[in-house]
Structure 1
Amino acid sequence: MQAHTMDTGLENWHDFEVVSRKEIIALLRGISEKKQLIRMLIHGESDVCVTSILQVDADNNAIIMDRSIDAEQNRRILAAGGVSFETTLDKIRILFAAERILECNYENGAALTMALPPTLIRLQRREYYRMSTPVSNPVRASIPLPAELGGAVTVFPLADISCGGIAIMDNKLMLGDTIGKNYPGCRIELPDVGTVTTTLQIRNSLDMTLLNNKLNRRLGCQFIDIPRPMLAHVQRYITRLERERNARIAGLS
């Protein structure tokens, strides 16, 4: 499964991949029974629509879901080359994807259907919680590019950070389509905390077209063998962002 991040990215954390069909069916039925809302993202697009699971049909290896209320959005979902889903169940983040969505009838109405996903991702560890990094004063990652990409150390702004990795904005499309590629010796300057040096692996790519027709590319990157002291820096920085966000919320209320 190639998982795409939603607020994304969804990094593809292999440690959290569920491959047991029985367990996948149980989790999806739990989401259906609790009527959990599911965010649905068409690959390569930036708008998200909300759906829910109407039925998990294990006999036919299918899931039946609500359509979007927007007819044009339904048309794009049915034409899409891939769709990602994100929801929560008992505070556990659940991510899965489909290569194809089809239309079907359910209880005398139109609905959407997809094949039962062969894998899904279940993130329940608190430290994989992701925080958006400040837009006004962006955190930056310096990535040494390999010779075939020019060989220079190039700086990219962060979109978010977790203890599992970061999402970076590659709006000049300098990293190309490099899913699965490792970039050793990357440096991330965390304000008031310190510098993190680690290997980054590109796990997913999401292209978003802005209103001015400019393309934004967001790359989800996983930390590879990050040293423990560096991870402590990341945790400290996330805690600080969380404190600042909570103070802002408290100030608004």
Structure 2
Amino acid sequence: MPDQESPAPTPSPHAGNLYADDRYMVRNPHQVRHLLQAMIDQRSMINVHPDGRDQAFPSAVLDVDLHHLVLDASPVPSINRSVETASDLLCFGQVDKVTVRFQLEGHRRIERDGHVAFEVPLPEEVYHLQRREFYRLETPVGDSPYCVLPDPDGGEATRWRVLDISAGGIALLLPPDQNLLKLQSRYSCVLEIPESAPIQTPLVVCNLRQQKQPNGTEMTRIGLRFDDLPRGADNSIQRYIFRIDRLRKARSNGD
């Protein structure tokens, strides 16, 4: 399968910023507690990833006070042992069907009403989209997802770097004379996200527009939306976005 990589885009002015979607970060302690309490009231399930790994277990916020929250444990003892040894827990849930994402550290195992749970200091910040829209992450050239596109003539598939990604779709940059993708058409593609298993998913072409590159060449920027993401794929995408955001935060702080 040949690797065909488009020219690198002009660096984003936000590349060194802490979270390009910083306006969706909730840091006020009262608002953080409010979101966590809403998860309890709405019985929102949470996917918890120990150390941000691919493997996750379902959980829920059981209680919130001024300084701590209580997180439900897994019924599987081996998973709880992995939680105890993890340095942090990456959590994904929803409030009013809108994504909520936060990282927990300093957790400890407790007994609650005869069941295992984890007491954790409240997160310092919670990502809350606040609107039914998707934040698009501009991907770093050296740590990008790739999209494998089928050949319309039945030939060998081709692999293209993803320029930006969200829970709603991706963008690619292809040569102007490309015949791989047509507007409003649906394609079965493979999305390769670093540190995650490949995702087989249908993509629908939403827009095509010409874009001049810094070297003067014309390329076609193609926006595609996910038509039916398989189970667990959204978590893989969110974990990738979180990891890249965290790396950019570390660089901006000089770590």
**TM-score (ref. length: structure 2):** 0.52
The corresponding residue for 1:162 is 166
Give the secondary structure class of the aligned counterpart of 2:109.
strand
Q: Indicate the residue corresponding to 2:68 in structure 1.
A: 62
- After superposition, the C-alpha distances for 1:164-183 in whole angstroms (9 at most, x for unaligned) are 9859xxxxxxxxxxxxxxxx
Please, which of 32, 47, 67 is the counterpart of residue 24 of structure 1?
Answer: 32
Within 2, Cα distance between the matches of 1:188 and 1:63?
A: 47
Q: Are 2:196 and 1:191 equivalent residues in the alignment? A: no
- After TM superposition, give the deviation of residue 100 of structure 1 in Å: 3.2
Superposition map of 1:45-56 within 5 A: 45-56=53-64
1:128 pairs with one of 107, 131, 134: 134
Distance in 2 between residues matched to 1:95 and 1:85, nearest whole Å: 6
SS at match of 1:127: coil
Q: Where does 1:31-180 land on structure 2 (aligned, <5 Å)? A: 31-58=39-66, 61-128=67-134, 137=149, 157-158=161-162, 161-162=165-166
SS in 2 for 1:128: coil
Give 1:136 deviation, angstroms.
5.7
Provide the C-alpha distance between the structure 2 equivalents of 1:233 and 1:192, rounded to a whole number of angstroms.
Answer: 9
The Cα offsets for residues 34-57 of structure 1, whole Å up to 9 and x where unpaired, read as 211001012252111010011002
Q: State, as a whole percentage, how many aligned pairs show the same letter.
A: 23
SS at match of 2:37: helix
Query: Structure 2: where are the runs of 5+ without partners?
Result: 1-18, 137-144, 151-158, 184-192, 199-208, 212-220, 230-255
Cα RMSD, aligned residues only: 4.1
1:127–1:163 CA contact under 8 A, matched in 2: no
Q: Note the residue ranges of structure 1 that are not aligned, 5 or more in a row.
A: 1-10, 139-154, 168-185, 194-204, 211-215, 217-227, 247-253
State the structure with more CA Rg: 2
SS at match of 2:75: coil
CA distance 1:40–1:163, shift in 2 (3 Å): closer
Q: 1:14 to 1:34 in 2, by over 3 A?
A: same
TM-score computed with the length of structure 1 as normaliser = 0.53
Higher helix residue share: 1
Measured against aligned partners, the alpha-carbon deviations of 1:116-165 in whole angstroms (never above 9, x if no partner) come to 011100014333078xx997627xxxxxxxxxxxxxxxx76549833998
SS of alignment partner, residue 133 of structure 2: helix
- Cα 1:44/1:87, change in 2 over 3 Å: closer
Contact 2:148 2:160 in 1 (8 A): no
